[in-house]
Chains A and B, each alone.
Chain A
Amino acid sequence: MNAVMAELWPYFLLVLVGFLPNEIWRALGMVMARGLNEDSEVVVWSRAVATAILAGVIAKLILFAPGALAGVPLALRVGAAACGFAAFLAAKRSLFIGVAVGEAVLLAGGALVAH
């Protein structure tokens, strides 16, 4: 019984902590689909909050890196992200070029540090 519980626990958490808190906004959106428009003030504010929280996640993943990424020095992680961002701007906001340059800097730097 305990083994089954241990197996199912992550799925229980997935529904409780991941699915429901996220899905509620879709359900609410369905209810509110008449009446709100994209430029209303509540929508602008909620988009700003959503953007800021996502930015917070990005910063934490780079600064307090998980798993194998923690093996790459902090300065290199920040530098690679900055290079990727600069390339993205220079290449007319191309996601592909920005991500490719960021990754290239990270991998090349990581290889140099290792030797």
Chain B
Amino acid sequence: MAVRSVTSNSQAFFGGVTVALTSVFHLVIGGTYIGIGALAHDFGFSAGWMAFCTVLVWAGPAQVILISALGSGAPLVEAAIAVSLSGLRLLPMVVALLPLLRREGTRLRDLLLPTHFTSVSMWVESLRLLPAMPREHRIAMCNGIATGLMGVAVTYGFAGFYLAAGLPRLFAGGLLFLTPVSFLLSTARNARAMVDKLALLFGLALAPLLVALHVQLDLMWSGVVGGTLAYGIHRVREAAT
């Protein structure tokens, strides 16, 4: 798309929607949300709830945690803490994104939507495309990208929900398997630095261990302990070199 030729906000917005629909994240989000829709179905939530969940939470991992924790009857406090810990990664993304969008005279309320829309996929696409855009149209384009991606997510979420309801059991299982396998691979792909690879490994190993040991708040502890351990090793290695 000829990003530089954008001259109006509506053009920028629909340009953003087009970017979203033609991006590789269309496939990734499609696969992920088919899986999450199937998960919501199997844990007994309604399709409408699932759509609201996507629009309000707008973060795949948080939705997976929320659905599996609420659906399996985990204590609400534990579910909220686990969701919150998984959302922590959004903070630095917002911090990095907003300076790209802001210009003189930008009102706080203009940044509310891009802030809520911030997710891994939107963030990656925005940081890739926005620097080449005229500053006054960046917010519109950013909102367009996120709206397109959210539309994809809601649509595929419905698809997964109803497929899980109607498919033979093995294929429904295959849909549910999309969530862990696509998250595993996309997390591995994003883990370029050693600290992130270690955090992935420690999290994979710790959570089942803590469950087996009947530790309360197992997700929270595997996050805090695994992440801190990975960070500590990273610091020790940096100090050694």
Residues of A at under 8 Å CB distance from B? 10-11, 13-30, 32-34, 36-38, 43-72, 77, 80-81, 84-85, 88, 93, 95-96, 98-99, 102-103, 106-107, 110-111, 114
B80–A17 touching, CB < 8 Å: yes
Contacts of B71 in A (CB 8 A): 66
> Given that A18-B57, A57-B65 are contacting pairs, would A110 and B170 also be in contact in the complex, using a CB cutoff of 8 Å?
yes
Interchain CA distance A21-B87 in the complex, whole Å: 8
Check if B21 is an interface residue, CB within 8 A of chain A: no
B217 CB → nearest A CB, Å: 11
Contact string against A for B residues 134-172, beta-carbon threshold 8 Å, 1 for contact and 0 otherwise: 000000000000000000000000000000100001111
Contact string against A for B residues 185-201, beta-carbon threshold 8 Å, 1 for contact and 0 otherwise: 11111010101101111
18 A-B residue contacts at CB 8 Å? A34-B99, A37-B96, A38-B96, A45-B227, A49-B85, A49-B88, A49-B227, A51-B191, A52-B222, A53-B227, A55-B202, A57-B64, A67-B39, A67-B172, A68-B176, A88-B189, A103-B178, A110-B170
A46–B91 touching, CB < 8 Å: yes
Check if B68 is an interface residue, CB within 8 A of chain A: yes
> Given that A46-B91, A49-B199 are contacting pairs, would A58 and B184 also be in contact in the complex, using a CB cutoff of 8 Å?
yes
A106–B116 touching, CB < 8 Å: no
Known: A29-B98, A48-B234. 7 other contacts (CB 8 A): A14-B66, A19-B56, A33-B102, A55-B184, A55-B187, A103-B177, A111-B170
Interchain CA distance A53-B69 in the complex, whole Å: 13
Which of A11, A62, A99 is most buried by chain B, counting CB atoms within 10 A of its CB? A99
Interchain CA distance A21-B77 in the complex, whole Å: 10
Contacts of B76 in A (CB 8 A): 13, 16-17
Contacts of A110 in B (CB 8 A): 170, 173-174
Contacts of B222 in A (CB 8 A): 52-53, 55-56
> Given that A57-B68, A96-B27 are contacting pairs, would A17 and B187 also be in contact in the complex, using a CB cutoff of 8 Å?
no
Contacts of B187 in A (CB 8 A): 51, 54-55, 58
B82 CB → nearest A CB, Å: 7
